[in-house]
């Protein structure tokens, strides 16, 4: 069952407080320690909703044996590519949990980041958008950004909400409560945890799918010494659907819930630092940062709802796409950092983003990109120069020949 917030009235809230006091009285009677104590989970969910989270579920801080074994097998098979931080997961998790011997619960939070788009975003209507003979925008030299990175950096947005939630929870307790917040970076398998906390189920494309919000939830956790009643794990499945497997441009989804990250465009354009294998470059299409193909095609996407969080939407960041020709005006890593500060795009370095831009321009068939790519042939980064050379070859060679040569070589 999915835990979503119901509406609450004053009487219900009053009941929760009475229940908490009753339970604490019981603990005192039995000489049980009153460290952080017990709190009604419905109150936690109500507070989470007040600070802006869309979904909240509770689970216990116990090991996810199955998921951890799958992760170990996955890493052993090398499918994590160069994401070294996934390699020593077990050891990192052990060290991490040692710091919280009193942890009693994990509050799993979901924040809906879906928004429709930004055709009126200022970045999209200015600059070098090309027009065809009828004057319509071609946008060939634009590179698409995955939806999760359209607005402000979600780590920052979520941490702010989590801080507000911690304060609210503390205000409702007579005892000091310990909290540890996690968004992405801690050794926690966020999707299997969210499934166990009842937020949704893991689909074949490996995303957590919510019946209310489809695949468009950011996940985060609050580990605490509060005792909270765990939710029931969500039981769900994709059934016979295989749309995400079919749509994936690079065949990165090998089978249900097994992704070869080395082929995933999200990995290649964001996490991977090296030269992108030549046989995958054409398949990257117009994605300059991340990829949403397997999310967009998912039937659960029909459940999408516009996010309530303005900071995650296009006008708060660079929006749906980047003007690729303009990217080449950024001459140093420092300049790059100033431009993308506060957005998730900063995760890639200048040379990675320009590498991606070369690939998208090479795929664009837009000959207006040639002068910029020629200048990029003398870029300070050899990674950029190598990809610019490939893009020029793609743009200047008849399609059939360039495709044959590209599929015959490797990175
Ligand atoms: C590394 C990482 C990536 C890597 C690898 C992705 C992957 N599938 O593992 C790359 C860079 C490719 C990536 C891409 C994306 N990511 Co990412 N990523 C992470 C990160 C930091 C760690 C995930 C991890 O440990 N992966 C290793 C795999 C093996 O573990 P796992 O997927 O967590 O768990 C799997 C196994 O346990 C297995 N499993 C468990 N039981 C069983 C049983 C059986 C029978 C089988 C077969 C398997 C199985 O299934 C689980 C799901 O795949 C998490 C944050 C976190 N700490 O969890 C975000 C996270 C998963 N990413 C997220 C997002 C949004 C994305 C993108 C959509 C971004 C984009 N648009 O470009 C894409 C989606 C690509 C995709 N199809 O997954 C969100 C997902 C939210 C959600 N609703 O699910 C997370 C949770 C970040 C967050 N805090 O919100 N990501
Ligand atoms: S994010 Fe793109 S490349 Fe990665 S699995 Fe999904 S569709 Fe394939
Ligand atoms: S597209 Fe179909 S198979 Fe893929 S995750 Fe969505 S429901 Fe599951």
The secondary structure of 139-175, three-state, reads CCCEEEECHHHCCCCHHHHHHHHHHHHHHHHHHCCCC
Higher pLDDT, residue 385 or 118: 385
For the sheet containing 217-224, what is the strand order? Answer: 55-59, 105-112, 217-224, 179-182
Q: Is residue 302 part of a domain?
A: yes
Q: What is the pTM of this model?
A: 0.88
Q: Does the CB atom of residue 153 touch ligand 2 within 6 A? A: no
For the ranges 8-22, 156-170, 190-204, which has the lowest average pLDDT? 8-22
Q: Which of 207, 243, 297 to mutate to test the pocket of ligand 3 (most atoms within 8 A of CB)?
A: 243
Ligand 3 binding pocket (C-beta < 6 A) is 203-205, 238, 241-244, 297-300
CB 75, CB 86: distance < 8 Å: yes
Q: Is the pLDDT of residue 144 over 70?
A: yes
For ligand 2, what atom is nearest to the CA of residue 263? 3
Residue 244 structural domain: 33-405
Q: Does the CB atom of residue 205 touch ligand 2 within 6 A? A: yes
Q: Does the CB atom of residue 207 touch ligand 1 within 6 A? A: yes
For the annotated catalytic residues, the residue numbers are: 184
Q: What is the mean pLDDT of the chain?
A: 87
Q: Is residue 104 part of a domain?
A: yes
Q: Is residue 9 part of a domain?
A: no
Q: How many domains, the chain?
A: 1
Q: Is residue 18 part of a domain?
A: no
Q: Does the CB atom of residue 259 touch ligand 1 within 6 A? A: yes
Convert the pLDDT of each residue in 344-383 to its tens digit: 999 999 999 999 999 999 999 999 999 999 999 999 999 9
Convert the pLDDT of each residue in 312-354 to its tens digit: 999 999 999 999 999 999 999 999 999 999 999 999 999 999 9
Q: Is residue 20 part of a domain?
A: no
Roughly what angle, to the nearest 10 degrees, separates helices 382-396 and 399-408?
140
Q: How far is the CA of 95 from the CAs of 14, 59, 76, 89, 180, in angstroms?
A: 40, 20, 21, 10, 14
Q: Is residue 19 part of a domain?
A: no
| Nearest alpha carbon, ligand 3 atom 1 | 298
pLDDT band at 160 (very low <50, low <70, confident <90, very high): very high
Task: State in Å: Cα 55 to ligand 1 middle.
Answer: 18
* 69 contact partners, CB below 8 Å, separation of at least 6: none
Distance CA 190, CA 223 (A): 12
Q: Is residue 2 part of a domain?
A: no
Q: Is the pLDDT of residue 128 over 80?
A: no
Task: State in Å: Cα 262 to ligand 2 middle.
Answer: 11
Distance CA 19, CA 398 (A): 74
Convert the pLDDT of each residue in 198-257 to its tens digit: 999 999 999 999 999 999 999 999 999 999 999 999 999 999 999 999 999 999 999 999
Q: Is residue 189 part of a domain?
A: yes
């Amino acid at each position: 069952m999915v835990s979503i917030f119901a509406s609450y009235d004053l009487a219900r809230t009053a009941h929760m407080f009475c229940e908490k006091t009753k339970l604490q009285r019981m603990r005192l009677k039995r000489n049980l320690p009153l460290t952080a104590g017990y709190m009604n989970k419905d109150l936690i969910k109500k507070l989470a909703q007040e600070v802006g989270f869309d979904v909240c579920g509770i689970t216990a801080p116990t090991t996810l044996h199955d998921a951890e074994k799958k992760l170990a097998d996955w890493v052993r098979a090398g499918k994590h590519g160069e994401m070294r931080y996934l390699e020593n997961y077990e050891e990192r998790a052990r060290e991490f949990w040692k710091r919280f011997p009193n942890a009693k619960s994990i509050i799993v939070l979901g924040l809906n980041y879906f928004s429709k788009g930004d055709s009126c975003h200022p970045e999209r209507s200015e600059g070098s958008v090309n027009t065809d003979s009828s004057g319509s925008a071609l946008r060939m030299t634009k590179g698409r950004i995955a939806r999760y990175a359209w607005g402000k950096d979600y780590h920052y947005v979520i941490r702010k909400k989590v801080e507000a939630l911690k304060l609210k929870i503390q205000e409702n307790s007579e005892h000091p409560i310990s909290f540890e917040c996690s968004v992405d970076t801690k050794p926690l398998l966020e999707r299997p945890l969210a499934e166990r906390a009842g937020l949704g189920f893991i689909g074949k494309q490996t995303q957590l799918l919510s019946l209310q919000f489809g695949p468009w939830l950011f996940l985060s956790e609050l580990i605490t010494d509060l005792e909270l009643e765990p939710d029931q794990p969500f039981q769900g499945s994709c059934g016979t659907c295989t749309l995400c497997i079919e749509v994936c441009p690079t065949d990165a989804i090998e089978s249900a819930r097994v992704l070869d990250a080395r082929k995933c465009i999200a990995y290649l354009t964001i996490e991977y630092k090296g030269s992108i294998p030549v046989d995958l470059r054409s398949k990257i299409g117009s994605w300059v940062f991340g990829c949403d193909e397997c999310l967009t095609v998912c039937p659960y996407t029909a459940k999408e709802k516009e996010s309530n969080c303005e900071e995650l939407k296009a006008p708060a960041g660079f929006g749906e796409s980047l003007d690729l020709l303009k990217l080449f005006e950024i001459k140093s890593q420092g300049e790059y950092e100033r431009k993308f500060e506060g957005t998730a795009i900063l995760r890639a370095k200048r040379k990675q983003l320009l590498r991606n831009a070369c690939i998208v321009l090479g795929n664009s068939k837009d000959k207006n990109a040639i002068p910029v790519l020629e200048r990029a042939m003398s870029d300070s980064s050899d990674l950029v120069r190598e990809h610019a050379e490939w893009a020029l070859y793609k743009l200047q060679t008849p399609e059939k020949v360039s495709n044959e040569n590209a599929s015959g070589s490797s990175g």
